[in-house]
Amino acid sequence: MPSTLALDGGQPVVPSGMVQSWPPLTQADREAVLAVFDSGHLHGTSAPKALELQEKWAAYVGTKYALVTNSGTASIHMAVAAAGLGPGDEVITSAFTYWSTAAAVLHHNAVPVFVDIDPRTYTMDPALIEERITGYTRAILPVHIHGMVADMDPIREIARKHNLVVIEDACQAHGATYKGVKTGALGDIGCFSCNRSKNLSGGEGGLWTTDNEEYLAHAAKLREFGEVVLPDRQREYNAYGLGWMYRPHEFVNAFILAQLERLDEYNAQRRQFANYLTKALAEIPGFEGPYTPDYADPCYFSYVVSFEPQQLGLDVTPETWKRAVQKAAAAEGIGLGQWQTRPVPSQDVFRDRVGYGKGCPWTCPYGSGQVRYDEEYPRTLDFIAGHAYLSGVYPPNTMELMKLYVDGFQKLSENAERVLELARD
Ligand SMILES: *Cc1c(COP(=O)(O)O)cnc(C)c1O
């Protein structure tokens, strides 16, 4: 006899209040922020914690240089600008991402062009890139989504062949590796977010990496109003070009530094949880964990569950099965969330090409004027329809919770017909 679903009055599998939120906060974090408070150094790209974080992040990633910024979006915009992209230039990126990736391209009056994903890794499919390259293409912007690295060798090969810059959106992939090399060191420029949810959290914040001195100098100007602001030089108060205000607060730098001390340990726990869940789900009809190619050591920003009704002999779509399970799982105390609801190019900002207004950047005289977004991205649509995100697969949660999750999936699988019936009501 399968146990009674919580929706039918049974005992929920996960006790309420058990799932803890990210990130874990410690006394070390508190002391790091308070030390800044007491130090008198609250501000500036040459403040002690800013410089220390830049040095430590570059060392961690394996690049020569890093910059602190105030968001992942700022980092990507700085990358687009530093690479010399501008009005009408085309940047090829993934149809499946948070739209900030593409917004940062628009911020510089450049034009995003989208490719569909590899259905197994949910990152951009390198086989679809070349058909999108035109005389206007200047860069490829792969996104390491959910902590999974994009397949970088073929991407870099295409970039070399067509003389394109590679900018990594690594906002969801701090510490993930591709063939042993960390994200942020896999392209010409790497971009990270440190917003509350990210593997390396500062509440808000961002990081930027490169080996290229020219890009570094350009990005640093972009970060501070177009000026050159250096620790060992009198500030000139002269803007060399258009810039933004992408400086982080010194509290945030200190907080990120404190979290960075524990990043590897946290990522190791995420991997342990993910490996355990994926093994267990392989034995439970109706669900699968994420696929991991040989080249990748993901850092599991999100733990992705795919819905496989055919494994249970159910004649419904993955999406119908997913929606039914989400409802029953919520009652069991298991969060199976939805993230993106459509491919990025299907959002109104692209469909209507609103941008700055007056058609820019799409009808800007420097561009092709040809980029439109009316096509479908079938693999992205399938991925969105057939997957959900399991909450709490990170510390300070423990294996105890992961074991309860497995019990919960088992219960939902055993009660599959009833789960579907309850969703129809
Ligand atoms: C979070 C995120 C961003 C933006 O980072 P912010 O710090 O929120 O600006 C960009 N791309 C991806 C893939 C992200 O997950």
pLDDT single digits (tens) 197-222 = 999 999 999 999 999 999 999 999 99
What number does the ligand 1 atom closest to the CA of 74 have? 9
Whether the CB of 143 sits within 6 Å of ligand 1:
yes
- The rounded Å distance from CA 414 to ligand 1 centre is 38
What is the residue with the minimal CA distance to atom 14 of ligand 1? 171
Q: What distance in angstroms lies between residue 170's CA and the mean position of ligand 1's atoms?
A: 9
Whole-number Å distance, alpha carbon 199 to ligand 1 midpoint, is: 12
The sheet with strand 336-337 has its strands ordered as 287-288, 303-307, 387-390, 336-337
Tokens of 405: 């999750």
The residue whose CA is least distant from atom 6 of ligand 1 is 72
pLDDT of residue 91: 98
Residue written as tokens 């309860």?
404
Ligand 1 neighbourhood includes 346 CB (under 6 angstroms): no
Task: Render pLDDT for 371-417 as a digit per residue (tens, 0 to 9).
Answer: 999 999 999 999 999 999 999 999 999 999 999 999 999 999 999 99
220 lines ligand 1 (CB under 6 A): no
- One of 3.40.50.720, 3.40.640.10, 1.10.3720.10, 3.40.120.10 is the CATH number of 27-261, namely 3.40.640.10
Q: Ligand 1, residue 144: give the atom nearest the CA.
A: 13
Ligand 1 atom with least separation from CA of 194: 7
Residue 120 CA to residue 125 CA, distance in Å, equals 10
How close is the Cα of 100 to the center of ligand 1, in Å?
Answer: 6
Rounded distance, CA 126 to CA 143, Å?
A: 12
Is 71 close to ligand 1, i.e. is its CB under 6 Å away? yes
Measure 98 CA to ligand 1 centroid, in angstroms: 7
Cα 206 to ligand 1 centroid, rounded to whole Å: 9
Residue to mutate (ligand 1; options 77, 141, 169, 344; most atoms within 8 A of CB): 169
Determine phi and psi for 208, rounding to 5 degrees: -145, 135
How confident is the model at residue 1, as a pLDDT?
Answer: 62
Locate tokens 């017909």: which residue? 417
pLDDT along the chain (425 residues), means of 10: 91 97 97 96 95 98 98 98 96 98 96 97 98 98 98 98 98 98 98 98 98 98 94 92 96 98 98 98 98 98 98 98 98 97 96 88 93 94 98 98 98 98 90
Does residue 97's CB lie within 6 angstroms of at least one atom of ligand 1? yes
What is the CA(97)–ligand 1 centre distance, in A?
Answer: 9
- pLDDT for res 280: 98
* 99 touches ligand 1 (CB under 6 Å): no
**Would you say the CB of residue 126 lies under 6 angstroms from ligand 1?**
no
* Predicted local confidence at residue 357, as pLDDT: 85
Q: Report CA(112)–ligand 1 centroid distance (Å).
A: 16
Query: How many whole angstroms from 195 Cα to the centroid of ligand 1?
Result: 8
Determine the pLDDT at residue 121. Answer: 97
Helix orientation angle between 416-424 and 318-331, rounded to the nearest 10 degrees: 90
Which is it for the CA torsion 62, 68, 73, 74, positive or negative? negative
Would you state the torsion angle of the CA atoms of residues 169, 171, 175, 180, taken in this order, to the nearest 10 degrees? -10
Which residue has tokens 């074991």? 403
Query: Which is it for strands 387-390 and 336-337: parallel, antiparallel or unpaired?
Result: antiparallel
Assigned token pair, 192: 């990270």
Pocket test for ligand 1, best of 76, 124, 171 (most atoms within 8 A of CB): 171
Q: If we measure between CA atoms, which residue out of 298, 310, 314, 322 comes closest to residue 386?
A: 322
Q: 98 CB under 6 A from ligand 1?
A: yes
pLDDT of residue 135: 97
**Is the Cβ–Cβ distance between 8 and 217 less than 8 Å?**
no
Question: Which spans in 62-99 are helix H?
Answer: 72-82
**How is the chain split into domains, by residue range?**
27-261
User: 325 C-alpha vs ligand 1 centroid, how far in Å?
Assistant: 28
CA distance linking residue 249 with residue 252, whole number of Å: 5
